[in-house]
């Protein structure tokens, strides 16, 4: 362990270009000797961001061996898992291996604690020694390796009442249901686009809970499987099969089920590009659009809203909000049907 102290935000790890924060950097130092204000973690699993993993699988022709190769090459080249084609990363779970002297006794961690990182892999120094397994259907990769958490890095101790892989799947998208909990008001009409994925399902639960009996929750799904999934789980008042890349058709579908009033809040959880205008046109004038999806082009959203004269408040999908880990995990505790679905589909 180094005796010297690094920058709380990790700029001492930036190799190229100099002067930027680790997330903006093309390459960072993934030497696993921690500075005095860093935490070293033995990593067990990576949960790759959905937009990133979808893009990697497409690039690999859905070939698992090629997916492994792409991930290894990416981390070896950049010192972190930061997909240059999506700009996104993911998060990890692991066991605390060492705590820098400047942090020891000042944080709620001890060596041996099982934790999940709540900061993106796109800024996290990561070394992969071996890829043990790739779970293509749930965006998870089991590895042998290590990672560094900076002094400013946030994390969550893994809960004792659920499997680590379940917590990993939920905490990867913890920002989405937590923001839904903050944004949804009683009586709101809420549209969740990409409702059949992890983040979408968790948002539907929070939307139902917060909008109450006077509100309306609309699930926008794409595939027949995701449409049936949401119906079976009973998480929405209305389930619509939508192609959100078709903006006018999306607007017309939402107008039809809201008597032309449109949605007070639109939550976008898709993992493909091109759904900005569908989200914007589905919102009422003066409404709110929350873009959680990392496939979003915020240029397209801003200029597109201007182009159609739509006055909506657009919120960037910050993956962090206070209490987001606790809120996301509590969703599964509150909803046994959703808990069972996540157990059946995300625990490997």
Please give the backbone phi and psi of residue 235, each rounded to the nearest 5 degrees, phi first: -100, 5
Q: Which residues of 239-266 are buried (b: 16+ CB within 10 A; e: fewer)?
A: bbebebbebeebbebbeebbeeebbbbb
What are the φ/ψ torsions at residue 184 (nearest 5 degrees)? -75, 135
The chain-wide mean pLDDT, for the chain, equals 95
Q: Domains of the chain by range and CATH?
A: 11-158 (no CATH), 175-346 (3.40.50.720)
Alpha helices in 172-246 (DSSP H): 175-183, 198-211, 224-233
User: How do residues 67-115 score in pLDDT, each as one tens digit?
Assistant: 999 999 999 999 999 999 999 999 999 999 999 999 999 999 999 999 9
> How many other CB atoms sit within 10 Å of the CB of residue 323?
12
Q: Which helix (H) or strand (E) holds 153?
A: none
Does pLDDT of 348 surpass 80?
no
Residue 241 has pLDDT above 80, yes or no: yes
pLDDT in tens, 145-154: 999 999 999 9
Mean pLDDT of 150-172: 92
pLDDT tens digit string along 4-39? 999 999 999 999 999 999 999 999 999 999 999 999
Nearest CA among 231, 247, 249, 245 for reference residue 195: 231
């Amino acid at each position: 362990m180094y005796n010297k102290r690094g920058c709380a935000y990790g700029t001492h790890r930036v190799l190229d270009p100099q002067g930027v924060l680790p997330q903006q950097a093309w390459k960072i130092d993934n030497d696993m000797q921690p500075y005095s204000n860093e935490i070293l973690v033995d990593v067990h699993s990576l949960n790759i961001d959905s937009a990133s993993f979808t893009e990697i699988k497409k690039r690999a022709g859905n070939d698992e061996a090629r997916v492994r190769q792409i991930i290894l090459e990416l981390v070896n080249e950049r010192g972190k898992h930061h997909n240059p084609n999506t700009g996104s990363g993911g998060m990890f779970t692991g066991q605390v291996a060492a705590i820098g002297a400047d942090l020891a006794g000042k944080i709620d961690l001890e060596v041996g604690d099982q934790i999940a990182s709540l900061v993106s892999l796109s800024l996290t120094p990561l070394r992969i020694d071996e890829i043990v397994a790739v779970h293509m259907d749930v965006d998870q990769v089991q590895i042998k390796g290590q990672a560094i958490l900076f002094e400013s890095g946030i994390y969550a101790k893994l809960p004792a009442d659920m499997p680590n892989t379940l917590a990993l799947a939920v905490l990867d998208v913890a920002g989405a249901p937590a923001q839904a909990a903050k944004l949804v008001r009683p009586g709101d009409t809420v549209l969740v686009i990409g409702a059949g994925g992890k983040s979408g399902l968790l948002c539907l639960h929070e939307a139902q809970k917060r909008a109450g009996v006077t509100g309306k929750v609309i699930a926008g799904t794409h595939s027949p499987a995701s449409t049936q999934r949401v119906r079976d789980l009973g998480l929405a008042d209305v389930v619509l099969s939508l192609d959100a890349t078709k903006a006018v058709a999306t607007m017309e579908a939402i107008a039809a089920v809201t008597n032309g009033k449109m949605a007070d809040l639109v939550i976008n959880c898709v993992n493909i590009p091109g759904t900005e205008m569908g989200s914007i046109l589905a919102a009422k004038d003066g409404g709110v659009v929350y873009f959680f999806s990392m496939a979003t082009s915020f240029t397209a959203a801003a200029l597109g809203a201007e182009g159609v004269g739509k006055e909506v408040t657009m919120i960037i999908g910050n993956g962090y909000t206070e209490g987001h880990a606790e809120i996301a995990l509590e969703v599964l505790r509150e909803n046994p049907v959703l808990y069972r679905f996540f157990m059946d589909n995300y625990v490997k």
